[in-house]
Amino acid sequence: MKASTPAHERILRRVALQGDCWIYTGADNGKGYGVVGVGSMRDGSRRTEYAHRVIYCAFVGPIPDGYVIDHVRARGCRSTKCVNPAHLEAVSNRENVCRGDRPRQLAEENRDQARRQGQRRWR
């Protein structure tokens, strides 16, 4: 398998449908969450990321700072290994931010936005 295959594509190749849930059948972090290797060995950005977070970033959008991805039971989701974007929702939490396979430009936009919000606070 080529290293250049986007992480979300590698995840979707390992999905088993269970009702409306897309169950990721790849690696497990030992706590019931699917994980996948993201980033590049070459530039040292290689790391493990939650599969559902990678999918959320790829199909829904960037995860705001301080938010985590929740599996929404009200939408019929029954598994922490589910990666169906329709079952995922960003919820506020103090846990760390999304650092998925996003272009650097997006990260810079987020930072600029945070800076603008900070400036508003000063006025």
Does residue 51 bind Zn ion (CB under 5 A)? no
The Cα 91–Cα 24 span in angstroms is: 21
Does residue 83 bind Zn ion (CB under 5 A)? no
User: What is the secondary structure of 74-118 as a DSSP string?
Assistant: GGT---TTB--GGGEEEEE-SSPPP--S--HHHHHHHHHHHHHHH
Helix/strand/coil for 39: coil
Does residue 84 bind Zn ion (CB under 5 A)? yes
C-beta closer to Zn ion: residue 14 or 119:
14
Q: Which stretch binds Zn ion (CB under 5 A): 9-17, 35-43, 74-82, 111-119?
A: 74-82
Least distance in Å: CB of 74 to Zn ion? Answer: 11
Does residue 11 bind Zn ion (CB under 5 A)? no
Q: How far is CA 19 from the centre of its chain?
A: 22
Least distance in Å: CB of 84 to Zn ion? Answer: 5
| Residue of the chain from 77, 90, 98, 100 that contacts Zn ion (CB under 5 A) | 77
Q: How far is CA 31 from the centre of its chain?
A: 17
Does residue 52 bind Zn ion (CB under 5 A)? no
